[in-house]
Amino acid sequence: MAEVTETDQVPLINLRGVTKTYGKGTAAMQALRGVDIAIEAGEFIAVMGPSGSGKSTCMNILGCLDTPTSGNYLFKGVEVGSLSRDQRALLRRQYLGFVFQGFNLLNRTTALENVELPLMYRGDPLRIRHQLAREALAAVGLTGWEGHTPGELSGGQQQRVAIARAIVTRPALLFADEPTGSLDSSRSREIMEILTTLNREQGITIVMVTHEAEMARYASRTVHFRDGLVVPAHESDYREGH
């Protein structure tokens, strides 16, 4: 995408006064009420807040899955709101990776083929797809598991495949939405160690939504949402388990 350029002068992400309103008139619901967030390249951010606080709406805007009602979203200094739908889709494909609580793998497809999917959409040739997918699986500790289908993998291994799929395009930014929500504590820690390593060694910026304080402690910074706003940690009424 020609409009997005590498620069050390601006944050990777900058939200300025972002609002989001759903519905009109008396049925209008303001999900975001003026959010300001700056995220530098290479940060690992945990996003916390109770249901209805606006964190999911904000993540959808950051992931170019939704647009603000007002305010500005700048990605590498480029105003995302000025991009066309096709340009936003290109931004997602070239710069962003996504990991979800539910893995979202194709059940009848091998780990290698699942990881190759974003590369197929990008039009990469088979040889390149195989190479990059194997490298991504190795990065999450799944060398030797390339031919296994999701049904032959544990929950933790399935989430590793999902992370490999998210990083196979070498994104600048990885969004992780409750990535440990379906896992036990031991597997959760393994996943967090993988994310921490990707952040530290590959320089991938990570924005992770979580309701678990233990998982948030892996991040370098925590952003708290309440009532459609970002609030300082000492003002947040959010507590683990809510």
The pair of three-digit structure tokens given for residue 238, joined into one six-digit string = 């959010």
Kindly report the CATH number assigned to the domain that includes residue 70.
Answer: 3.40.50.300
Identify whether 226 is part of a domain: yes
Q: Is the pLDDT of residue 240 over 50?
A: no
Number of domains, the chain: 1
Domain limits for position 136 = 13-232
Identify whether 238 is part of a domain: no
Identify whether 198 is part of a domain: yes
Identify whether 3 is part of a domain: no
Each residue's pLDDT tens digit, 205-234: 999 999 999 999 999 999 999 999 999 876
Identify whether 237 is part of a domain: no
- pLDDT at residue number 233: 74
Q: Is the pLDDT of residue 84 over 80?
A: yes
Instruction: Please report the DSSP string for 143-186 in residue order.
Output: TT-TT--GGGS-HHHHHHHHHHHHHTT--SEEEEESTTTTS-HH
Identify whether 1 is part of a domain: no
DSSP lists the bridge partners of residue 18 as: 35
Identify whether 41 is part of a domain: yes
